[in-house]
Amino acid sequence: MDRHALAAFLRSRRDGLRPEDVGLPTGPRRRTSGLRREEVAGLTGMSTDYYIRLEQARGPQPSEQMLSALARALRLTGFERDYLYRLAGHSAPRRTPLDTHVAPALMRVLDRLSDTPAVILSSLGETLVQNSLAVALFGDHSRHTGLARSGVYRWFTDPAERSIYPVEDRARQGKAQVAGLRAAYGGTGQQSRAGRLVRELLRTSEEFTELWELHEVASRFEDHKTLLHPELGQIELDCQALFTEDQGQALLVLTAPPQTEAFEKLKLLAVLGHQQFNARGLTQL
């Protein structure tokens, strides 16, 4: 671990970011354009003291999980992320089409979406980042670990995952989930994380097995969705997707036309999201 080089790299990247680059308000009395140390710490979920020690070249070796959070908070490119890992004494993560390092371009767009639900997903349906309205609508999907990080896996193993969709729409959603997984599987092969996911679902879910044998392939997110919220009831939303160049990640944005019932429900959802923040300590990623 090269503590001094790591400290210098963190300082340079922090100084190169503006609050608006990461979705934070500029606020009064800001003497410099860079982020404050406490702001970086807040974005990563670490203590301010821990981050300060890293920048002062006296902190312990960061874990790979912490480095991943730092790379995301500082909006690092893939090459910068790899460099960060090596400075911290870790091997750089292998780059594959299923890389879960969030594309900075998608993060910049997400940072500016504060009035409508938005989420960044991997091609395996893993929630990489949610804004606060997406948490209020879907729940906090960042809490899942292992195979359950994939929405496809949860769809076929956890009945609660389907509760957000009306009963009559669940068969269509299930087919879309499997078709999307097959697209990811085709690009990465049997020994990839997609392959492991497929093998486990073939072992545990007859429904998945039947749909897998249809050999449907698609990567479709754009849709008109009817979602069910426990407090607000039915919400009609349009879903649009912005993909990375390799199609490995997608930013999903859910909107409603102005002056509609769904538009007003999104306003109420923002209020509910704020209440959840106060009651549960949820934070916007």
Domain spanning 104-280 has what CATH number? 3.30.450
Categorize the per-residue pLDDT at 196 as very low, low, confident or very high, splitting at 50, 70 and 90: very high
Categorize the per-residue pLDDT at 143 as very low, low, confident or very high, splitting at 50, 70 and 90: confident
Domain boundaries, the chain: 3-87, 104-280
Categorize the per-residue pLDDT at 221 as very low, low, confident or very high, splitting at 50, 70 and 90: low
Q: Which of 4, 188, 16, 25 is closest to 104 using CA atoms?
A: 16
Give the model's pLDDT for residue 7. 87
Categorize the per-residue pLDDT at 142 as very low, low, confident or very high, splitting at 50, 70 and 90: confident
pTM above 0.85, yes or no: no
* Residue 280 scores a pLDDT above 60: no
Categorize the per-residue pLDDT at 275 as very low, low, confident or very high, splitting at 50, 70 and 90: low
CATH architecture of the region 3-87: Orthogonal Bundle (1.10)
The predicted model gives 208-226 an average pLDDT of 83
The pair of three-digit structure tokens given for residue 26, joined into one six-digit string? 């500029």
Dist CA 54 CA 49 (whole Å):
9
Return the HEC string of the chain. CCHHHHHHHHHHHHHCCCHHHHCCCCCCCCCCCCCCHHHHHHHHCCCHHHHHHHHCCCCCCCCHHHHHHHHHHCCCCHHHHHHHHHHCCCCCCCCCCCCCCCCHHHHHHHHCCCCCCEEEEECCCEEEEECHHHHHHHCCHHHCCHHHHEHHHHHHHCHHHHCCCCHHHHHHHHHHHHHHHHHHHHHHCCCCHHHHHHHHHHHHCHHHHHHHCCCCCCCCCCEEEEEEECCCEEEEEEEEEEECCCCCEEEEEEECCCCCHHHHHHHHHHHHHHHHHHHHCCCCC
The pair of three-digit structure tokens given for residue 247, joined into one six-digit string? 């199609």
Mean pLDDT for all residues in the chain: 84
pLDDT, one tens digit per residue, over 51-92 is 888 988 888 888 888 888 888 888 887 778 887 888 888 887
The 10 Å Cβ neighbour count of residue 65 is: 10
Give the model's pLDDT for residue 282. 36
pLDDT, one tens digit per residue, over 115-128 is 899 999 998 899 99
Give the model's pLDDT for residue 57. 87
Residue that wins the pLDDT comparison between 206 and 279: 206
* Residue 95 scores a pLDDT above 70: no
The answer to whether domain 3-87 and domain 104-280 are alike in fold is no
